[in-house]
Amino acid sequence: MANHRTDRMSEDIQREIAAILREMKDPRLHDGIISVVRCDMARDNSFCRVYISSMKGLPTAKTAVAALKNAQGFIRRELGSRLKLRYAPALAFEATDSIEYSANISRILMDIDIKPETEEDDDEGTDDRADS
């Protein structure tokens, strides 16, 4: 059975960390578009793994993760005060290339040249069946 409280807490933490990222002044976080992709909470809400991605690729995401690890205490304190938590979860940040991967898939799909069917082809096909 899914733990709905843990899922809600994970979504809240993801939203608040994204807001904290926008407010932080570290230049390593503003190199490209940095996004919080996913948060995985432990069942007891004591630990949270946060996945960070960047539009510029995995090296930029790793740089952002290094900055977030340096500010881990600040982020944890801010989470506790913003979400009014008695115990803020310990945070672990990991870099992922999911944004770059999805952008690449989007580019591939846009490059596919699909010839749309014309109305004439549809009309001819219906006439042949009607005559038979």
pLDDT tens for residues 36-82? 999 999 888 889 999 998 888 888 889 999 999 999 999 999 999 99
What is the pTM assigned to this prediction?
0.73
Number of Cβ atoms within 10 Å of the Cβ of 104: 11
pLDDT at 128: 54
Q: Which regions of the chain does DSSP assign to beta strands (E)?
A: 34-41, 47-54, 90-96
DSSP H/E element including 31: none
Of the CATH numbers 3.30.300.20, 2.30.40.10, 3.10.20.600, 3.30.1960.10, which one belongs to the domain with range 4-131? 3.30.300.20
- Kindly state the percentage of the chain with pLDDT values over 70: 86
pLDDT band at 6 (very low <50, low <70, confident <90, very high): confident
Q: Write down the mean pLDDT value for the chain.
A: 83
Render 94-122 in DSSP notation, one character per residue: EEE-HHHHHHHHHHHHHH--PPPPPHHHH
Say if CB 3 and CB 43 are below 8 A apart.
yes
Cα angle 94, 97, 103; round to 5: 150
